[in-house]
Chains A and B, each alone.
Chain A
């Protein structure tokens, strides 16, 4: 049986950030992840935007965590080797009705203390974004909405937890558990874990975990799928900033945005579904997304599509974050963390540790914590292939080197699956989608993963 101060259930961005915060504050932590690698659920597909919180519900926990997260990311990104692309965003009105709603959005932003907003007229928009369709009417410029790497950030957070004494257990879903009056005893296929505190960050499965251990859940996950179309790097020059629509009550709407990897994307949709893990795409929706993209950015029509994917947001019956659990017995559930989670995670982690430290003052923050660095995958910063001794380029589209791949297979948090390896290195994620590199990758990863890329032959 493993013993720890804090058990964190779920290796999404929230769980990784919570593990980091608790470890830095001097707690012993164990993160339990049901999959073979981190980021297997909601965190694997998001828009990778570092939000300011300009459109968050004023005075909400979400707003507070987004603001803190935005701030802390900027403080720590350099030392952890995390990229930041300062693109800015604009909320663009395409018709009279949307234009009329801009003022409301603007005022909400001011109320949310995002005080560098500026209204733009048509000429100003087109001067900043000359490729946008001439039908733009007006916009709000939000200079501090940025683009980050959605996968290396959580990896860096968990890596810092692990480098500072934390543990991460994979293939370890929490199947049940009980409180013995002093501690929680959590059941996993990898054995029992005894913890004084539990923070449930299980995202799409948060309600099920509460049910399995507490016997009840205060919310129900209503999975909401978002599909995306990723365009070739050639399309990256078509926009400079994140192009947001005027938001509706339910969703932020379909966004045009640059990625840290040098692509350009359109998405997401917002589709309610029952399945928590069916991230399938469908042709009709993808064509609709491409059409919407082309309507806003006509030059997209001639741009090749690199890939498509879907992410699933852990929405609940209510729009706000659902903080619940069994606080009396030191079980805290962070539920319903949707699209702002990537930004808010660092703030939520502080909030969650705050809940623990209210109950116990016994932790001493680390004086000089280990600060690991994650490899850079951002297109605007020097990549591994610019440094000698990389061996060979395995993935030509994304310029992934053998040295990068081998490094991702080693270390304290090695890739646990092919998907994890792709997220750590970008191999096969480029325009050819594995035409050139799959063979070599299959060879380099042979016998490493449960689900191999290739096998040695077929039975006749």
Chain B
């Protein structure tokens, strides 16, 4: 069951006594979000780009900022990337994902920026009116400017049109990592990994930590999608897990749990690989559904909200930064810079410069 007490209103997150552990807390001194009718800037998402934007805004003298996070824990995807390298560019330190996420949140709270977790934006209306829901209150807030920093997610199995049934044991890196790092559970023990992007090697790292032994890594193209040092690292990490290039997954086998996959190599030869899971990695797609269901213009090719060079959306009250506009995906450090730029631009517009 949930270890945390249910917050009775959307509350700002605060540091607890250790000054390190961050969690969606209960009592807050700041007024509840639903009492707030207006604010200068609403930032949707507390990943690297959202936090960088908030800090940049604060630095530029904007104080009335609200960061909304739908998850219970703030920090975004780095929370469950339990490995380095994070933070080199922005904090000049070599950190793991969770350390990096904690440091970001710490900086945010030290700047006295209001952060509300478990608060989900349900609709974007024109001119910066935001509809949200939190466990004990639905409401609206009118912002002068809104920044979409909703990030990205991997493409799961279904849109890839992979043949086969629907046994248990099919997931993406994000699912595996959040299951393992946040809940200490694993969905399989001997999966095949589909893809060889950077995130695929992050998945390999997680597998090694979780005691999961992948049976193979499959790459459709004839070479891995990352430079060789990473691939070499992958080889070491994978403890003998072969990288099969030019190889596609044809069919997923198994009734209750995955029992194997049918693969086809570059010569058209098919063979069965026994495994108990399929880990689909990468093929990132922007988490832009809020924008897609709103009045904002969407770039049909990438699915990202359309932005101009300043990061402005088709409605000038809206901006977007980070992975929601960096299709297909970029690293946390680049998202940080993207958020910073958007923050500075918003600050310029708000102060009429």
Contact = CB atoms under 8 A, between A and B. Distances in A.
Contacts of A89: none
Contacts of B212: 458
B185 A439 contact: yes
Contact of B138 (A386, A431, A436, A453): A386
B210 interface: yes
Given A283-B162, A458-B213, A234 B289 contact: yes
Contacts of A459: 189
A307 interface: yes
B289 A287 contact: no
A440 interface: yes
B122 interface: yes
B158 interface: yes
B179 A435 contact: no
Contacts of B301: 302
Contact of A280 (B153, B165, B213): B165
A323 interface: no
A443 B183 contact: yes
A450 to B, nearest CB: 9
A279 B212 CA distance: 29
B133 interface: yes
A163 interface: no
Contacts of B285: 304
A438 B179 contact: yes
A278 B136 CA distance: 43
A283 B157 CA distance: 11
A230 B161 CA distance: 11
A436 B178 contact: yes
A388 B138 CA distance: 7
B142 interface: no
Contacts of A233: 289, 293
Contacts of B183: 439-440, 442-443, 454
B334 interface: no
A385 B119 CA distance: 11
Contacts of A230: 158
A302 B292 CA distance: 11
B210 A457 contact: yes
B168 A392 contact: no
- Interface size range on B against A: 35 or more
Contact of A460 (B168, B211, B250): B211
Interface string B182-212: 1111110110000000000000000000111
B159 A306 contact: yes
Nearest to A277: B255
Given A307-B158, A438-B175, A457-B210, A388 B135 contact: yes
A192 interface: no
Interface string B136-178: 1110000000000000011011110111111010011011001
A380 to B, nearest CB: 14
Nearest to A402: B2
Nearest to A458: B189
A278 B72 CA distance: 38
A455 interface: yes
A305 B159 contact: yes
Contacts of B178: 436, 438-439
Interface centre among A230, A280, A309, A439 (most CB of B within 10 A): A439
A326 interface: no
Nearest to A460: B211
B311 interface: no
B291 to A, nearest CB: 10
Nearest to B162: A283
The contact size tier of chain A is 35 or more
A436 to B, nearest CB: 7
B118 A438 contact: no
Contacts of B70: 393, 396
Contact of A453 (B136, B184, B187, B289): B187
A442 B172 contact: no
A233 B123 CA distance: 13
Contact of A438 (B136, B187, B190): B187
A389 interface: yes
A422 to B, nearest CB: 10
A215 to B, nearest CB: 29
Contacts of B120: 385, 393, 396, 399
A195 to B, nearest CB: 31
A386 B293 CA distance: 18
A304 B135 contact: no
Q: Which of A281, A385, A446 has the most CB of B within 10 A?
A: A281
B292 A234 contact: yes
Contacts of A278: 165
A397 interface: yes
A454 B185 contact: yes
Determine which residue in A279, A388, A451 has the highest number of CB atoms from chain B within 10 A of its CB, and name it: A388
A460 B211 CA distance: 7
Nearest to A397: B289
Given A306-B158, A435-B154, A454 B174 contact: no
Given A283-B162, A309-B166, A439-B185, A392 B156 contact: no
Contacts of B250: 283
Given A433-B158, A454-B185, A458-B211, A389 B166 contact: no
Contact of A308 (B154, B158, B182): B158
B350 interface: no
List 4 tightest A-B contacts by C-beta distance, closest first: A454-B185, A458-B189, A433-B156, A302-B300
8 contacts: A230-B158, A290-B161, A388-B138, A433-B172, A434-B156, A434-B172, A436-B178, A457-B210
Given A280-B164, A432-B156, A440-B183, 8 more contacts: A283-B250, A287-B161, A308-B158, A385-B133, A388-B138, A434-B175, A442-B187, A458-B212
